[in-house]
Amino acid sequence: MARGFRQDYLEAMSKKVSGPDQDLHARILALLDESRVMSLATLRPDGWPQVTTVGYVHSDFVLYFAVASTSQKSENIRRDPRVSIAIARDPADSGCTRGLSMAARASQVIDLDEVEQINDLLAKRYPGQAMFAPRGASAVVLRAMPTIISLVDDSRGLSRPEVFHAKAPRASHRFRKAVPSRPPDLAG
């Protein structure tokens, strides 16, 4: 498999996690492992946020999910790849509030080797679930690569959110998408 942005991102993430960040990194991964559903916020063309719930798998902090190729979510992400994600555990399960929010950029996964890796993750997390097949399918496989993760974990007593900055390497041209500075003029 050709070395790509995802591999560079994962390597950059693993190199920078040490000291106090190592504990935070481990607690974020534990929450991602424990949860199976996330709330995904995208921006509609009129500027209003749209929040939907989707299942996911993850590799380190990179989240993968599928949506209908003709869905509003898919259209929103094609137009503006900035997304916000929230994942939480029910306080009734553990007696405390645990959750995270994530600012991320979403993009479609088209590399077949990466799809194969996602299918391995999917088979482990959701035995019996259908595999992703992005070619000519009615669904698209998307990856969300975070830039900021904010964790709230009251299992150690009431706390402030802990913020982790995920500094990814510069994106290759395949994943870079220009975001317009203002909406296009629809009147003329």
Angle of CA points 8, 76, 128, to nearest 5°: 65
* Cα of 46 vs its chain's centroid, Å: 23
pLDDT of residue 158: 65
DSSP secondary structure string, 87-151? EEE-HHHHSS-EEEEEEEEEEE---HHHHHHHHHHHHHHSTTPPPP--TT-SEEEEEEEEEEEEE
- In eight-state DSSP terms, residue 171 is P
Homologous superfamily (CATH) of 5-165 is Electron Transport, Fmn-binding Protein; Chain A (2.30.110.10)
Token pair 């990856």 is found at 143
pLDDT of residue 65: 93
Q: Profile the chain (188 residues) by mean pLDDT over runs of 10 residues.
A: 50 51 89 94 96 94 92 95 93 77 95 89 82 69 95 77 73 33 38
pTM of the model: 0.76
Q: How many CA atoms lie within 13 A of 33 on its CB side?
A: 8
Phi, psi of 110 (to 5 degrees): -120, -15
pLDDT of residue 187: 40
